[in-house]
Amino acid sequence: MPALRTAFFLAATSLTAFAQDSAPQKMKPVVVKGATIGGVTAPAAPALQLSGTALEAQSVSALGEVLADIPGVATSYFGPNAGRPIIRGLDGDRLKIAQNGTGTLDASSASPDHAVGIDPLAIREVQVFRGPAALLYSSSILGGVVNVVDNRIPVERLPRTFVLAGRAGSADALRSLAFLAEGSAGHFAFHLDGFTKTTENLSTPLGRIADTASESRGAGFGVSRVGPSGYLGLSFAGLNSTYGVTEPGIAIGLRQRRWDLAGQANAPAAALKSVSYKLGVSDYQHAEFAGGIAGSQFTNQGWDARVDFELTKVGSLEGVVGVQSGRFDFAVTGDEAFLPTTRNANDAVFGSFIHSLATDSRLRFGFRLESAKVSAAAWTHEGLASNPAAAAAAFTPASFALAWVKDLDAQWATTLSLTRTERAPNFQELFADGPHVGTESYEVGDRTLGKEQGWGMELELAKTRGAVSGSVSVYYNRFASFISLQENGFGPDLSGLPIPGPDFALGGADELARHDFTSIPADFFGAEARLNIRLQESDAAKLALEFFGDTVRASNRDTSAALPRISPGRFGAALHGLQSGWTWRVDATYHLAQNHLAVGETPTAGYTLVGAAFARDFGLGSATTARFSLRLTNLFDVEARNAASFIKDALPLPGRGVEAGLKLSF
């Protein structure tokens, strides 16, 4: 807390120094914008943006929880502290998570018990890209791309702002305090933020779950020079987090330091509207502590850079093209190291375009061509292989997307999308050989794996205007080669070696199921829908009824066997409105049972979760406002389990909870 008080003092001092500057006009925050591919009207625009009060109303436990209420999105939920988004059944490296447009450079895709390297309290906006625009960031886009924005590098002159926000919750004894300070002096704009957050062991309908507490602290600072010709900025951020992962006596201690450089030049040439560039440099590490003693350690050190060229519109064609390049070194050390040290390189060229065919139709299309290389160092290791030699693998993924949008009238539009994607296998899929605690399996990579290849088709119908609005979409994703962890007996018996090791074989003292990364043909079928009916709307009162739902089914096309950890779907309804200055929402969601099971999986019962949220803004003087919020979750204390979680049988979802928040803006 002393460090936090010091940061508050520095922020206040900075604001005082800039008090003589004329403040630019405040921008209104985006709440929720868009949700459909057809609604995208710019080549680089996301299909969905979540920020402002809508973002503040979400959970602050993990990124997966922030997005979990969006149709088609689930979370990998490894307890309250670790959870990545899963979109349309696709997770891991198939779902790129970017930070300010560049890679997060953490270890979250390597294991479900690893947290994403940005805390929700530091996020100012979440963007979900789908269709051709997603190719600006990744070659694997059948699920989409998630980009989290922290606004630490200002892109324009900022009004003088100081925000203090606190939250307290009951289910996990959440206590959080965060601040934000922004302002401008001449051509310079600055941003300063920080937070501290603690939780205790999680309360569920079955009681409190040990080893799920957490403590996190983070801060960031950025400054930019802003002018009519563009901006140039630099930021630094740090995150320290210690959290339990439900395993007895096990905790993860995470540390990340990150530098970002970003800038933009407006209209540098007749053919260009702008040129923007970004560079992220990260030093990430975490240790897995057993009984307070550091064991296995994961490190990821690298950088990711990109340059985007926004083209001047020529006739009815506009677009963005660019290049991206990144390098990172990933290593796991300790008794449970299951990977060699690897050096990873990726270079790409990409483009996203919109071509207006007529006043009521347009064509969106994009491409991404990559060169990916993974180099593994020689490994002193005993497993299925003894002391594997150095090795390398190189790939050239190529992905393309096409979306035809047709406006049926002023209110209705339909979109037909076709996508071809390729993804290079990652270091884990190629070189794993050892016990992986997070998945409770002996993981085995395949150095001969080829590219993951798939085709996708989606049909969407959306109504964007009028008292009734919403969208419905159906999709089919077909993989010729889908890289999946497949059960293959049990791990090796290493007890007979000159230096005896564990016995992972059936009946052994350390018995552990073996799972191999294998390429299989796979099919994903699904649908998503959202309907909003406006019942009343005036300046003083609003009332609307909302219906939503999604479903997905994933199978091995050769055997019809289910793919593991697929959240089957849900449907629900919500009533929300504005009355006497209060915004409110009451919702109920039924999550379908999962009985389409992979080998070794157990059924997941269906369940219904009921929640409510309330918020109100108050004026505390001419220059100060306050916002009080109250969030109620799992009101009936239902025992519920997430079918997409590796530990669903051991850990139910949180029980009944109340979370209150207060935000002061000066």
Structure-block tokens of residue 640: 């519920």
Kindly state the percentage of the chain with pLDDT values over 70.
Answer: 94
Q: How far does Cα 206 stand from its chain's mean position?
A: 29
Among residues 33, 48, 128, which one has the least CA distance to residue 85? 128
pLDDT for residue 11 is more than 60: no
- pTM > 0.85: yes
* pLDDT at residue 127 is higher than 90: yes
pLDDT of residue 58: 83
Tens-digit pLDDT profile for residues 482-528: 999 999 999 999 999 988 999 999 999 999 999 999 999 999 999 99
> Over 50: is that where the pLDDT of 31 sits?
no
- Name the band, by pLDDT with cuts 50, 70 and 90, for residue 2: very low
Per-residue pLDDT for 75 more than 80? yes
Is the pLDDT at 544 greater than 60, yes or no? yes
Does residue 32 register a pLDDT over 70? no
Per-residue pLDDT, 16 = 30
pLDDT band (50, 70, 90) for residue 54: confident
In terms of Cα–Cα distance, which of 336, 251, 296 is closest to 510?
336
- Do 403 and 415 form a contact (C-beta atoms < 8 A)? yes
Query: Is the confidence at residue 67, as pLDDT, over 80?
Result: yes
Determine the average pLDDT of the residues in 101-111. Answer: 93
Task: Say which residue the tokens 């909870």 belong to.
Answer: 657
Give me the long-range contacts of 613-616 (CB less than 8 A, separation at least 24): 613/57, 613/584, 613/585, 614/582, 614/583, 614/584, 614/585, 615/53, 615/57, 615/582, 615/583, 615/584, 616/581, 616/582, 616/583
Per-residue pLDDT at 25: 30
Report pLDDT for 37.
52
Q: Give Cβ neighbours of residue 433 (< 8 Å, ≥ 6 apart).
A: 338, 339, 381, 383, 384, 385, 388, 443, 444, 445
Residue 370's Cβ-side half-sphere holds a number of Cα atoms within 13 Å equal to: 26
For range 141-169, the mean pLDDT: 94
- Return the DSSP state at 656: S
Q: What pLDDT is attached to residue 39? A: 58
SS3 state at 76: coil
The pLDDT value recorded for residue 336 is 78
Give the residue-averaged pLDDT of 301-328.
97
Domains and CATH numbers, the chain: 2-665 (2.40.170.20)
The structure tokens 């403040």 sit at 23
Q: What is the pLDDT of residues 570-601, one digit of tens each?
A: 999 999 999 999 999 999 999 999 999 998 89
Read off the amino acid at residue 54.
A
Mean pLDDT of the chain, nearest integer: 91
**CA distance linking residue 560 with residue 376, whole number of Å:** 35
Measured CA to CA in angstroms, residue 492 lies from 89, 96, 339 at distances of: 31, 33, 16
657 versus 295: the higher-pLDDT residue is 657
Contact (CB, 8 A) for 260 and 117: no
| DSSP string computed for 478-502 | EEEEEEEEEEEEE--B-TTSSS---
DSSP string, 228-262: TTEEEEEEEEEEEEEEE-SSTTEEEEEEEEEEEEE
> Which H or E run includes 321?
strand 317-333
Contacts of 145 (CB under 8 A, 6+ apart): 95, 96, 97, 98, 128, 129, 130, 134, 137, 138
Question: In this predicted structure, what is the pLDDT of residue 30?
Answer: 35
Is residue 223 a contact partner of residue 254, using CB atoms and an 8 Å limit? no
Give the integer Cα–Cα distance in Å for 636 and 652: 14
